[in-house]
Structure 1
Amino acid sequence: MAKIHTHYDNLKVARGAPQEVVRAAYKALSQKYHPDKNQGDEKAARIMAIVNTAYNILSDPVRRREHDEWIAAEEWEVEWLESSGDEGHREGGTRVRGENWESPPPAPRPRRRLLRDPRWWLGLLGGMAVGAVCVLVLLQPRVLPAALAFSGKEQAAALTSIPNPDPDAWASPAGAKAPSVKTLAVTQLLVPPRQPECDTDLATPEAPNGEPWPEQSGYVPGYPLGNSGREMTVVVDNSANPTPVFVKIVDLERRSNVRHAYVLGNGTLTIDGLAAGKYEVRYQNVVGSAARSECANRTRRADAGF
């Protein structure tokens, strides 16, 4: 069967490798490709960014399980295409994307498998139910909560641009032409306080793309800005959390990241200029320099057997 390039390949470990092996492989590759040891080497910087991304995913149990599910879906698709004699439509039957250092993006699941998956039908029915609720909300002067957060290693909040109705629009005199109503959906995400965790938080001095973390709260350099518009604003309130957070806003319909931001500990950032749509906000604590030193000391003590 054709090979599928995964984050395990990027870290040069087996798929069932324990966390200790994953961490050791990351340390070895970091020492080899770190920008401080390869100044001016664009290839080393790109490899280091891919290694950072692979480690951030494989070191998190939730994100690693999602990656394993993606691998299983891809292998099922390749196996089905090869058994049906249609592998020629997938670049000669290979699933290796480019050279060995390649970050595997999530791919849509095969349509035939989706139609047989009862979860797909449940999701379809759930989407229809949510649409009906949204219609009822827009027909009445009420607003549903726009953000729901759940606890876990990877924190997330689902956002839907349900605009607030202008109360002045309902006070027009009888017979007068109703004024046009311009609305802006504003969603606030409250980040709870949490102590840094060396095994799951981002403990690198650079962002996953290899760029240094900003000195102030704002967008992380090097990432594109997508879904530009004027219909939605997201306020990330990290004032209760002493640790900085790395924030990603994901377009749920296109399954793509449209914003990457960095919010200082005990700080707040307003992310505006978003088009109307359905989004999910994912955030992860960023270990500061002092905490990074403590994490490094813990790792050294663990390696030494203390």
Structure 2
Amino acid sequence: MAKIHTHYDNLKVARLAPPEVIRAAYKALTQKYHPDKNPGDEKAARIMAILNTAYGILSDPVRRKEHDEWIAAEEWEIAWLDSTRADDGHKARDGAPAHAWEPQPVAAPTPYRRLRDAKWWLALGASFAAGCAVGLLAVDQPRVLPAALASVLGAPAVPRVQPQVVPEPATDPAIDSWAVGKAYLPDNPAARPPDIKALAVTQLIVPAHAPECDTDLQSLVAPNGESWPLNSGYVDGYPVGNQGEEMQVKVDNTANPSAVFVKLYDLDRRANVRHAYVLAHATLAIDKLAAGKYEVRYQNVDPGAGKADCAARARAPAATAAP
């Protein structure tokens, strides 16, 4: 079976590699291909961009799980297509030969690849025709069966009673035009519905948060390898999606003594569309968003601190309070 190219291949790690192995592999590769060490090298810049994308996905547990599900679906579909070709007398594809490592952009998920297969369309058409036939019989049964019985017994068929259509009561356009959103005659401008616009504004208030050494992010750089901003703002290197003028999300971190790394997640497209860094006791407005359903995910950040330093600070208040 042909092997698909994944973000694990770009970082040269196994698919079950733990986060620390993925992080070490990314750091080792960036030391070799970082643009600062390869000025003017377009190939190194391209490889570095691919490595950043791969690490950004594999370092995020949610996005990594989605990537693993995509890999399983793609490989299942390839196996299914190979089995259908084998049934038709064609030889199934063998595994791709091994080549020297070189990172490549990973193809976007294609959940509708099987739509290109003729057998799939044939089976879909047959199922649709059968469903239409069953539905037609179910709808016409009250009319067909009485007529058939009447012809056999020699009795006149009972005519069907047509349902009476009750007209919708008239409404006053001046009162009801906004509520129902109906269109009115263009020759009466006073009766036209007004132009309604809405601006949705949401807010996240981050609560005061004590250090949690197992879950807080202790790093001098962001997960994609870029430095944290000096002020509250977007983190470099991440794509900015869902641009529009309909919404904004305010992140209020004024009660929190720690900075936070924020990911704005689009629930409809199942993707992160903003990555931001908000300083302690500060706020940030994530603006210029298209209308949609979003989820704000955040994680406390302790730049440059290790778990040992974090644990020492967590114990410090308790030691001070002791008699």
Who is 2:245 aligned against? Answer: 230
Who is 2:74 aligned against? Answer: 74
Task: Return the offset for 1:75.
Answer: 0.8
3-state SS in 2 of match to 1:101: coil
Who is 2:31 aligned against? Answer: 31
CA distance in 2, matches of 1:47, 1:198: 32
Q: Contact between 2:216 and 2:301, CA under 8 Å: does it hold in 1?
A: no
Who is 2:268 aligned against? Answer: 253
Who is 2:211 aligned against? Answer: 195
Q: Contact between 2:234 and 2:277, CA under 8 Å: does it hold in 1?
A: yes
Q: Contact between 1:247 and 1:281, CA under 8 Å: does it hold in 2?
A: yes
Task: Return the offset for 1:62.
Answer: 4.5
User: Residues 258, 35 of structure 1: CA spacing in aligned structure 2 closer, same or farther, 3 A cutoff?
Assistant: same
CA distance in 2, matches of 1:36, 1:76: 41
CA distance in 1, matches of 2:29, 2:270: 29
Q: Contact between 2:218 and 2:307, CA under 8 Å: does it hold in 1?
A: no
Who is 1:51 aligned against? Answer: 51
Q: Which whole-Å deviations, capped at 9, do the CAs of 1:153-190 have from their partners, x for residues lacking one?
A: xxxxxxxxxxxxxxxxxxxxxxx999765432111123
Deviates more, 1:3-12 or 1:236-245: 236-245
Who is 2:232 aligned against? Answer: 217
CA distance in 2, matches of 1:287, 1:269: 18
3-state SS in 1 of match to 2:17: coil
Q: Contact between 2:263 and 2:297, CA under 8 Å: does it hold in 1?
A: yes
User: Residues 228, 32 of structure 1: CA spacing in aligned structure 2 closer, same or farther, 3 A cutoff?
Assistant: closer
User: Residues 84, 190 of structure 1: CA spacing in aligned structure 2 closer, same or farther, 3 A cutoff?
Assistant: farther
Deviates more, 1:193-202 or 1:52-61: 193-202
3-state SS in 1 of match to 2:257: coil
TM-score, normalised on structure 2? Answer: 0.54
The answer for unaligned runs of 5 or more in structure 2 is: 87-94, 116-190, 311-323
User: Residues 28, 297 of structure 1: CA spacing in aligned structure 2 closer, same or farther, 3 A cutoff?
Assistant: farther
Paired letter, 1:9: D
User: How well do the aligned residues superpose, as a CA RMSD in angstroms?
Assistant: 4.1
The answer for unaligned runs of 5 or more in structure 1 is: 87-92, 114-175, 299-306
Counterparts of 1:64-143 in structure 2, within 5 Å, are 64-85=64-85, 100-104=102-106, 107-110=109-112
CA distance in 2, matches of 1:74, 1:194: 43
Indicate whether 1:186 and 2:188 are aligned: no
**Which protein, 1 or 2, shows the higher relative CO under an 8 Å CA cutoff with sep ≥ 6?**
1
3-state SS in 1 of match to 2:4: coil
Task: Return the offset for 1:15.
Answer: 1.6
3-state SS in 1 of match to 2:76: helix
User: Residues 112, 44 of structure 1: CA spacing in aligned structure 2 closer, same or farther, 3 A cutoff?
Assistant: closer
CA distance in 2, matches of 1:257, 1:56: 11
Q: Which whole-Å deviations, capped at 9, do the CAs of 1:230-280 have from their partners, x for residues lacking one?
A: 321211122233333333334333444433333223321112222222223
Q: Contact between 1:196 and 1:243, CA under 8 Å: does it hold in 2?
A: no
Who is 1:268 aligned against? Answer: 283
Q: Contact between 1:202 and 1:284, CA under 8 Å: does it hold in 2?
A: no
User: Residues 35, 286 of structure 1: CA spacing in aligned structure 2 closer, same or farther, 3 A cutoff?
Assistant: farther
Task: Return the offset for 1:38.
Answer: 3.4
Q: Contact between 1:184 and 1:232, CA under 8 Å: does it hold in 2?
A: yes
For residue 278 of structure 1, the aligned residue among 293, 298, 313 is 293
Task: Return the offset for 1:58.
Answer: 3.5
CA distance in 1, matches of 2:75, 2:31: 32
Indicate whether 1:13 and 2:13 are aligned: yes
CA distance in 1, matches of 2:278, 2:9: 32
